[in-house]
A and B are shown apart, each in its own frame.
Chain A
């Protein structure tokens, strides 16, 4: 027998940190038998900037722009988690209009982030055209952000006590026309990708993450909902005005890459619904509560929790009564998803690594902090 006389050995393969499909500077140490993955060891830290430690040396409002750089595809959710924690500490009442605007900003960020997911996921599978389509649809959102906040990516617009400024004239129309444009474009995606035989062959049944395993690893967001668990912070612990808005918590029972993809596509439709409701329900009034010149929360600790596009994004702030936090701790959902990665990869092939990793939609900015 050939395989008895010529023993094969496992090969260690370094994937990253410079690799087009590791979504940033992640390094995967893969153990291979031929093309089959027998082991995987994710190595992180290439993007470590010590953001949590920086939080201890900045004033409460001064730390806010740093949170933008965590999950850079959805900076509003990072802002909101931090701001929520601080607002809980100082027991601040946020104006009604600002709450709606926050939700709107968050949902637009979610659509933008999911569009990048669709784009990169398709690109990982070799469909380069869908990659550009995703970014094409994201562009109007970026323009809207620029119109409203002056920034496209790192907005820092959600502030302690509300949002930094009201929506400008013409924004509501731009948002409505964007929503009307996005829905048919999503159908186009369904025609181009979701129903494509090759796309389905590459994603269906690939990278299974059962509900229980997902919960044990601390997964959340679309990754967990793609395994059939209807867990969504927006429903489980409604923040801002989510309890007044109509939307469905999307789940998919297939627990594979396709399920996670479908959840995100459907979530974009739900986000469109939320944005439209926000626009029609938007009350008049102030958008920023009055704050003292120097924020000095009383001694204590607080959690801010937000359903970010990636999942349960949390920010824990401890105050000793001074002008700077004593400790800032960030719970990044991607970190937990990456923990489940080695288990999901075992037995699949190199081509599936990029598919499974892509379906988790990790952002290294929040993993490394």
Chain B
């Protein structure tokens, strides 16, 4: 348990001694400890998500020259999302008669849980990481591919053609954009020489952020575009395209089940921005301010750009989205990997 904040680390060891003195097996303690840490991260992520929804509403309001939430919770409507979440919690739980019940019920959780799980490897600060897995990057790639299964189950289980169309789009899009995303990660891994998150972060210490190193800028752009597609944001919001598919895969969901999809989307947004910060923007590295604050500042900057894009441009068509991935991003990704490899081989990794 080396990767924990110093204070928690001290608490951890003293508690462990107390536990072992009573002859209890240490792995049980480890399990309890992990659950506790995971719970803290989960609560933090959920609160952030509520805040992000509010931020998005305010930002879209500014861009569209209107006010945005301004009643619930003071002048700035700070409690608007909390009120909305409460409303969704108290709504009647409707499952369509013709829906495939088990699949329909299970789907929102399958979307929501993996999105939370990936936060285990996010380095919020020096040692502020729940578990610095030695397979960190691979873990992210594997787990963040899981929600699409839940999305497809939602579309299929709803027994609604609009939902199915949205689900089919989601699967096609997620699989296509996974490839440029992974190619971008490969570039980073070549420079860091490791797939452990801690090593990637320490390779960027003292301002040597990967975004400043040629040719990782290409990988950064690649990751940014692919990540926007992964979280189904405009211009890649085809799986839920309001004006085409009404709501896409979650059209039949209401109440808390719908809220799970909604929260998962924003949690995923938070994650891709946090991961972008980790990979390219030096994670918590920065002068004067506390590391955790630096991390959040960078993450929010990435999120703001994604939101800005969303509220500015129209949506692509499904064949254009797929064509863009396969004809444009994948070749660029391969070239980026080649360039990164050449640079690393010829000049060595600085």
Q: Which residues of A contact B (CB under 8 A)?
A: 11, 13, 19-21, 35, 122-129, 132-133, 136, 192-193, 196, 198-199, 201-202, 349-354
Contact = CB atoms under 8 A, between A and B. Distances in A.
Contact of A136 (B65, B243, B245): B65
9 contacts: A19-B246, A20-B243, A122-B314, A126-B241, A127-B315, A129-B60, A193-B314, A202-B314, A349-B317
A132 B60 CA distance: 11
Given A21-B244, A35-B165, A129-B60, 6 more contacts: A127-B312, A129-B312, A196-B314, A351-B241, A351-B244, A351-B315
Nearest to A351: B317
Contacts, number: 80
Report the 6 A-B pairs with minimum CB-CB distance, sorted nearest first: A126-B315, A127-B314, A125-B314, A132-B64, A351-B317, A21-B243
B161 A13 contact: yes
Contact of A132 (B66, B162, B244, B319): B66
Contacts of A124: 243
Interface string B227-252: 00000001101100111111000000
Nearest to B321: A351
B313 A196 contact: yes
B243 to A, nearest CB: 5
B234 to A, nearest CB: 6
Contacts of A133: 64-65
Interface of B: 60, 63-66, 161-162, 165, 234-235, 237-238, 241-246, 311-320
Given A128-B311, A199-B314, A202-B316, A350 B165 contact: yes
- Max chain B CB contacts within 10 Å: which of A126, A132, A354? A126
A26 to B, nearest CB: 14
Q: Taking chain A's interface residues, is the majority helix, strand, or loop, or is none over half, making it mixed?
A: helix
A350 B235 CA distance: 16
A245 B320 CA distance: 45
B315 A125 contact: yes
Contacts of A127: 312-315
A216 B98 CA distance: 45
B238 A351 contact: yes
B64 A125 contact: no
B69 to A, nearest CB: 16
Nearest to A125: B314
A126 B245 contact: no
A352 B317 CA distance: 8
A121 to B, nearest CB: 10
Nearest to A196: B313
A35 B244 CA distance: 12
Contacts of A354: 243-244
- Max chain B CB contacts within 10 Å: which of A11, A21, A193? A21
Nearest to B315: A126
A11 B164 CA distance: 12
- Max chain A CB contacts within 10 Å: which of B60, B234, B235, B317? B317
B64 A129 contact: yes
Given A124-B243, A126-B241, A351-B238, A198 B318 contact: no
Contacts of B311: 128-129
B312 A125 contact: no
Contacts of B319: 349
Nearest to A201: B320
Nearest to A123: B243
A136 B63 CA distance: 13
B243 A126 contact: yes
B317 A201 contact: yes
Contacts of A122: 314
Contact of A129 (B63, B238, B242, B318): B63
A264 to B, nearest CB: 17
B237 A126 contact: yes
Contacts of B238: 351
B176 to A, nearest CB: 15
Nearest to A199: B314
Nearest to B312: A129
Contacts of B237: 126
- Max chain B CB contacts within 10 Å: which of A21, A128, A136? A128
A196 B313 CA distance: 8
